[in-house]
Structure 1
């Protein structure tokens, strides 16, 4: 079967790992004419975007993360404004307006607050220069496409899709945005966090040798949930409880664990050719998602990586981002070890209160907006969209394998017509999406 147009099977992360940051001037590397490559260096990251003309932004998706992103944007530099809000729920708009007023003394005019499934179109058309896309991820592909078509710069929260159809849509939009000179920054924060960046720089420069694999774990407690209320329709219940429904969030392997898997992809610099996954559910009380995942990714050179995540209260919580090499291994958050387990380098965090140190780590939720605003004001378009498409697809690959109990190849993923969720949106019944979690070995709508 002929593969659909998409990301090249080999080396597709290479162009988007170090290279994407370099495109905006945040990271540079060069190769000489000989066999030895120049060592990758990190420049000084800006702790505030440069001044310039006012940049007006519209927020689409006014929940907790969206409101937080709006505040992060305002903190990124001078002359930045949030001027429009869009959501499907009035209470989300009201809470966001109150928070912006309380914390940053920002008032949003009534006529710039839009309610409904088409609110994103109204925000995009409200005279803004850029948009912050922070709705449940199911809606991200359509919102990205509309923003690019309207020639708006974009901040898009992770993940960028919940299914292969959506991911390929964002890929097409990203290519169109690049041709139009638009900047697109995504919410995979580790790639703009200096301690992670410095660790990755040392790994790519060979300090732990050639990469041989990775062990990636994120274990934590259960996420929030909303019990169904008698007055809610199916659609309202699902939207208010979105982190517990796969069609809206992609399950926690895609919605949350993407941070750690993205770090792995950044270091490994290859795509897996196959995913072999396990998962299950014991504790969740709403929705159709799993409590835990365990995925083995296989690569074309025989390398394997293992990724596992759990969201169950009362268990051991642990985060591991270990990158293995021929000379040692890395804790991607700021340490390198030799093969005997001895620390050979550790990120030199400054003393508390030392604000002048070059090793200070800017809040990455603000740093991503600093980078975006800087790219706009300096006229140097920047995009990390393809990197987030890559990482999103790899999490989906693992989720499908766990849901089905079958191996999933990259070629199968890129040819998949899997689309999750309804094709039209209205408050009322949502047919075809039962509140039942998938059983491995049994056909299901989420796979």
Structure 2
């Protein structure tokens, strides 16, 4: 079915489990899967244990990585990959803009003394194919999310290990393509890690372990909030075509980013999904726009998700300067509630446990939290070098789908079911790419409902 969805700096360390698609061994340490295996363990009456996290990937043969998408986020991912362990190289770069490529090369040279030869720097919409074919072992997929499904598919077909930034798609068509690619990746024992870092962050992992072990009873719902300032934007320049303007201003166009409910708020939605280990059957939502000056997206969303059991969760996000900011990742239980970043409370609001963060420079402490943006690459490289298989792609596809459900519910003002989304043929963006005019994607803000008449 076709739903009525109108056009539908590397991240800072977000202070608050390695997501393992199949149970494997990392550095001789048993690693639990993100949801399924842990839930099965609990059903058997087994207490969940926190898997050990290495602070550096083990040594091994040289692993070559190619970066696709050389903006701030991609450049940061390249540096994080190089920081994950020994004998790691960035050997190829791909982007559509020469200035982004040049800036990335400069940072890699300055920060890591890495020089990428001209013959391994590829410009154009087909640059991802050239990077994949350049002899790399790993690809880092960091373009605007619209392009992720096609890039993931190409990387899997070429049997490359993958780091893919979040979200993994902007529409149901893209989500289904990634899900199919993940099945193929699993059958080929390829390793896939995505950029929603909480599952690789020790304080979040330990908090979740305690909740699933029943320390505050059974989960009954969740209250998830992320309120922050507006993201950057680019005003259109006379010399820019439609395509160049939209690409340089990508975080403000739904077809490129999925709107901020998918592009940024997916971190918090993924935490909720990680705890609940189930997905909503319906979304009811609203949102709007008051302050954005470019693009076609909303400033704020508020979504209620309904689950098959009758449980409900609430998720809300806002990007407006000059407002009260804050983040809430509250998991409600029968005997208390959790702050997923590292605290447990009883029903009266008394804190009964807090993650024992060590002193900032005490890296030897068992409770030290490695920068999760590096930790996810450590987990990826460790799996490759130890013959394990990790793959959180299906989890990320489902978290992306939950975000898309909320976005469409808010854009249209109508309840949206998971079944509708899973079967929707909605596709956002042009079918072919060139630096010219884009037909059929006006810079128009979605309006829910119909006009009120006298």
Q: What's the TM-score bracket when you normalise by the shorter of the two chains?
A: over 0.9
Q: Does 1:26 align with 2:31?
A: yes
1:207 to 194, 215, 218: 215
Give the match for residue 412 of structure 2.
404
Q: Number of matched residues?
A: 429
Give the match for residue 42 of structure 1.
50
Residues 293-442 of structure 1 correspond to what in structure 2 (within 5 A)? 293-441=301-449
Quote the offset at 1:208 in angstroms. 1.6
Q: RMSD of the TM alignment (CA)?
A: 1.8
CA shift digits 1:193-219 (9 cap, x unpaired) = 000000011111111211111100000
Quote the offset at 1:250 in angstroms. 0.1
Report the Cα distance in structure 1 between the residues aligned to 2:270 and 2:39, rounded to whole angstroms: 25
Q: Does 1:88 align with 2:96?
A: yes
- Aligned-partner SS, 1:365: helix
For structure 2, list consecutive stretches of 5 or more residues without a partner in the other structure: 2-16
Q: Does 1:196 align with 2:204?
A: yes
Quote the offset at 1:27 in angstroms. 2.7
Residues 44-193 of structure 1 correspond to what in structure 2 (within 5 A)? 44-193=52-201
Quote the offset at 1:30 in angstroms. 7.1
Quote the offset at 1:45 in angstroms. 0.6
CA shift digits 1:52-105 (9 cap, x unpaired) = 000000000000000000000000000000000000000000000000000000
Report the Cα distance in structure 2 between the residues aligned to 1:27 and 1:258, rounded to whole angstroms: 23
- Aligned-partner SS, 2:21: helix
Give the match for residue 288 of structure 1.
296
- Conserved in 2, the CA contact under 8 Å of 1:30 and 1:37? no
- Conserved in 2, the CA contact under 8 Å of 1:264 and 1:323? yes
CA change 1:283–1:377 in 2 (3 A) is: same
Structure-2-length-normalised TM-score: 0.92
CA change 1:80–1:302 in 2 (3 A) is: same
Report the Cα distance in structure 2 between the residues aligned to 1:223 and 1:198, rounded to whole angstroms: 31
Report the Cα distance in structure 2 between the residues aligned to 1:34 and 1:397, rounded to whole angstroms: 30
Report the Cα distance in structure 1 between the residues aligned to 2:20 and 2:370, rounded to whole angstroms: 21
For structure 1, list consecutive stretches of 5 or more residues without a partner in the other structure: 2-15
CA shift digits 1:251-278 (9 cap, x unpaired) = 0000000000000111111110100010
Report the Cα distance in structure 1 between the residues aligned to 2:204 and 2:138, rounded to whole angstroms: 28
Report the Cα distance in structure 2 between the residues aligned to 1:370 and 1:424, rounded to whole angstroms: 36
- Conserved in 2, the CA contact under 8 Å of 1:20 and 1:384? yes
Quote the offset at 1:43 in angstroms. 2.5
- Conserved in 2, the CA contact under 8 Å of 1:162 and 1:246? yes
- Conserved in 2, the CA contact under 8 Å of 1:221 and 1:314? yes
Moved more, 68-77 or 260-269: 260-269
